[in-house]
A and B are shown apart, each in its own frame.
Chain A
């Protein structure tokens, strides 16, 4: 078991190092990307350009540059941005994490609640029209792109009806939980709902089809033959089994969103989270910030996967041999 964990973690380190090298090489392979002239400023003198190049170690060969960047990122932790000079990268990232976590955790609670409730309801409903209605609602939720939905929500709550029904909606942005819990809630309410809608739609459909699939299993038939009530079969057996799928799905979705995939929601609602930080740094060609956010995101995804594998191994000894 221990050697399996060790192997899994060394594989994880290998993946992270490869990703960082890839990001680094792609960046410098982009034509015209050399940041020196942009850092030096418009119409900078050639000597000034040379000094900037030297001070940002851009005159060194690529491997040395890479090692130096990794050292500043992980060892001395004082890596600074190419664009916002003097702005340390790690504090920016750590400040962005609570905003992203607030957004994703709140939205996750909503979509899990709505998804599970409506999914079970759709699968179990006796009335013919309920199941298709919920399915259609789910599809609508899935098909509405979050950036579009977010803009429409803004149009209604911030512009068209801002002076009447939605007077209580605060301006776009993020207020931290510790600064003002009520304002934190108000600022995040519509972002939560917007982000949750898509996932709720997916979870409703997945859970419904899982339950219906499980209901055809032999052990359900056995339960029925034993005379268990339909309610007991649905909740105790079918739903419980189906939730395993939902849990693994949720693990992946949650990891990806916390890692920065909530960026569209963050950009539309002006929330300074990890996704927005990544988006802005990509737009600005700010390699240090790109590197930090990509490392953070891939760490989350890789770590979650490693964790899942290990848990599987604990549960199922057969996996350990693979």
Chain B
């Protein structure tokens, strides 16, 4: 997914003097949270953001901003572990008593539902709610209904006729045994992750059969939503029926209330945190405030890597990037350090040229497009651009002198990147222009083949930790639909042989994850030799919290753990 609806980043080049940034997330990977300390509980946590993230419905909302809150409110059968660093990618049983028993070659998953858990409206969580929740994914046309959950038996019928969706064969429940059996059409290597994200959360069977919008749906976690006004405030209070059942999956929360205020500009948000009027800033810190945060407020800043990438998809179906040499030339010419500098400097991003980001399953440190390296003889890491080679490749490709438009979002950072890419393209022999369009429509605009976009600047943030979420989603044939705004394979790259290898690896991952991850690493290098995209850098998350805010922990999956912050 993308970071949020709007990339409101205001960071600009060279302004960062974030020299001493402390990170509290230094504990060893995999360590869980320390036991709950009731003496530190209480108070109100105040979060601020420029804008809300749309519907509050956990089955529909697909933004990092609200997924961060859902981890403290909603639970699925499975969940991601409350732990720092790589440990946060571990999947643990949440509303289920244990990880599922997989049988029938991975096509059948059997769970036992924990008993005694209640929704925030007092009703017990039953297997009927579980079944209804999976049907509701289709009834509300969840964005991932067709991409994550289409493998459940009966899903295709639900996708065509959502109103009458029944998953009687796909989700078989037994109230007497409190068991849930999920039947898949084919084994799915990422099914556990898909069951752990908020779209698979268990909600009351009585939830409306359409997007609930701003009306809160009862929760199971330590918080419930009290009120939501997308223009003003989201209020979360303690769920009176919550009792900790798994410290790893859903630990007890510290603050009594969370007030998420919307409407302040990013610079006003930073000031509010400096004045202790708010505890945390959602939006990216404006460039002119980074210096003071790096110096005066260094102890309140936390920097963590994100498993994400900023990249340049190149349309492989139209000139000039229907020529592999032209695409390789862009990869050689792109100065990733310059892109990092525009984003905010080396504290906020790191140059990469692999498709899978660092810290991600399957990632291999390599770079085929740096000075002195080739896709077949890659270097360990990116070092410097090779303009001479790039120029030669453009000349050899016969595309020199062609007109190329770079389509970017119209916010400061993206526009600067666009101008920079324009200069790169000009320097290697093209006649480049920049086409900045509204940040809100750029993402869908560049997907539609009707718009004939040649090259653009885009971002991809993981949904769940699986290499397929990058390679298969962004470069698979199934993700390419001509003339549609929803065609996430922006390069229009459909290489039948490569696609077959991905399908094979997906199948392999069901039985042998290590071997599959190794295969993904090889596929990463293989596809990058064909260069359907140019990867620029992997971003980092800078969290700025107020002086009184303690117990900061960061998850690679859902970012900062909101429920663990202490304000007392």
Show the binding face of A for B, using Cβ within 8 Å: 30-34, 36-38, 40-49, 51-52, 55, 80-81, 83-87, 92, 95-96, 151, 154, 158-159, 162-163, 171-173, 267-268, 270-272, 276-277, 280, 283-285
Contacts and interface: CB of A to CB of B under 8 A. Distances in A.
A85 B55 contact: yes
Given A43-B479, A86-B211, A154-B271, 6 more contacts: A32-B451, A41-B60, A84-B213, A86-B55, A87-B213, A268-B265
25 contacts: A37-B447, A37-B484, A40-B486, A41-B142, A43-B144, A43-B486, A45-B486, A46-B484, A47-B159, A48-B143, A49-B485, A51-B141, A83-B54, A85-B60, A85-B213, A86-B214, A95-B232, A96-B231, A154-B268, A171-B272, A171-B277, A270-B264, A272-B232, A277-B231, A280-B231
Contacts of B298: none
A48 B150 CA distance: 11
Contact of B445 (A32, A49, A154, A270): A32
A213 to B, nearest CB: 43
A162 B444 CA distance: 43
A81 B150 CA distance: 28
Nearest to A46: B481
A52 B211 CA distance: 11
B231 A285 contact: no
Interface of B: 1-2, 5-6, 51-52, 54-57, 60, 62, 141-147, 150, 159-160, 162, 210-215, 229-232, 261, 263-265, 267-268, 271-272, 274-275, 277-278, 437-438, 440-445, 447-448, 451, 473, 479, 481, 484-486, 488
Contact of B441 (A38, A158, A162, A276): A38
Contacts of B447: 37
Contacts of A38: 5, 440-441, 443-444, 485
A42 B451 CA distance: 18
Contact of B444 (A30, A32, A276): A32
A270 B268 CA distance: 8
A94 B268 CA distance: 26
Contacts of A270: 263-265, 268
Contacts of A33: 441
Nearest to A171: B277
A276 B50 CA distance: 11
Given A32-B451, A272-B232, A43 B271 contact: no
B289 to A, nearest CB: 10
Nearest to A83: B54
A51 B60 CA distance: 13
A257 B210 CA distance: 38
B268 A172 contact: yes
B271 A85 contact: no
Contacts of B229: 95
Contacts of A49: 484-486
B264 A172 contact: yes
B143 A84 contact: no
Contacts of B481: 46
A96 B230 CA distance: 12
A47 B146 contact: yes
Nearest to B159: A47
A213 B441 CA distance: 53
Q: Taking each of A44, A80, A83, which has the highest tally of chain B beta carbons within 10 Å of its own beta carbon?
A: A44
Contacts of A272: 231-232, 263
Contact of B264 (A46, A81, A92, A173): A173
B268 A87 contact: no
Contacts of A158: 268, 271-272, 275
B231 A283 contact: no
Nearest to B474: A43
Nearest to B8: A283
A249 to B, nearest CB: 31
A92 B231 CA distance: 8
Nearest to A266: B263
B437 A45 contact: no
Q: Taking each of B231, B274, B488, which has the highest tally of chain A beta carbons within 10 Å of its own beta carbon?
A: B231
A80 B481 CA distance: 29
A48 B485 contact: no
Q: Which 10 A-B pairs have the closest CB atoms?
A: A86-B213, A45-B146, A41-B143, A37-B485, A32-B445, A84-B230, A171-B277, A85-B55, A41-B62, A37-B444
A65 B486 CA distance: 22
Contact of A42 (B2, B261, B271, B442): B2
B488 A42 contact: yes
B143 A40 contact: yes
A37 B62 CA distance: 13
A215 B263 CA distance: 49
Contacts of B2: 42
A271 B263 CA distance: 8
Contacts of A37: 444, 447, 484-486
A284 B143 CA distance: 19
Nearest to B484: A46
Nearest to A286: B440
A84 B55 contact: yes
Q: Taking each of B6, B60, B451, which has the highest tally of chain A beta carbons within 10 Å of its own beta carbon?
A: B60
B290 to A, nearest CB: 15
Q: Taking each of A40, A42, A271, A280, which has the highest tally of chain B beta carbons within 10 Å of its own beta carbon?
A: A42
B323 to A, nearest CB: 26
Given A43-B473, A87-B230, A171 B143 contact: no
A220 B424 CA distance: 72
A80 B55 CA distance: 11
A203 B330 CA distance: 58
Nearest to A271: B263
Contact of B1 (A42, A276, A284): A42
A154 B437 CA distance: 31
A45 B487 CA distance: 9
Nearest to B481: A46
Nearest to B478: A45
A268 B232 CA distance: 15
A126 B488 CA distance: 74
B160 A47 contact: yes
B264 A32 contact: no
Contacts of B486: 37, 40, 43-46, 49
Contacts of A85: 54-55, 57, 60, 211, 213
B368 to A, nearest CB: 27
Contacts of A45: 145-147, 150, 159, 486
A175 B277 CA distance: 15
A267 B268 CA distance: 10
A49 B444 CA distance: 12
A96 to B, nearest CB: 7
A276 B263 contact: yes
A277 B263 CA distance: 10
Nearest to B448: A32
Nearest to A167: B275
Contacts of A80: 213
Contacts of A48: 141-143, 145-146, 159
Contacts of B146: 44-48
A120 B159 CA distance: 73
Contacts of A30: 441
A52 B231 contact: no
A30 to B, nearest CB: 8
